[in-house]
Amino acid sequence: MKAALVTPLPMQEYLEGEQRSEIRHEYVAGQVYAEVDLPKGKATA
């Protein structure tokens, strides 16, 4: 089994994608993660 290589996304590409996207994402060290919409009053640990 081969490990997949992950290429960091340039910040400019992330920002351009965020402008077109209907959902928000987080950008962490070149990786993009969809944000979770929690109901009000709910907190994460």
Residue range 1-45, pLDDT digits in tens: 788 888 999 999 999 999 999 989 999 999 999 988 777 766 665
| Domain residue ranges of the chain, discontinuous segments joined by + | 1-36
Give me the pLDDT at residue 1, please: 78
Give me the pLDDT at residue 36, please: 82
Give me the pLDDT at residue 11, please: 96
Give me the pLDDT at residue 14, please: 95
Rounded to the nearest 5°, which phi and psi values hold at 4?
-80, 140
Give me the pLDDT at residue 39, please: 73
Q: Which helix (H) or strand (E) holds 14?
A: helix 11-20
How long is the chain?
45
Q: Which helix (H) or strand (E) holds 33?
A: strand 31-34
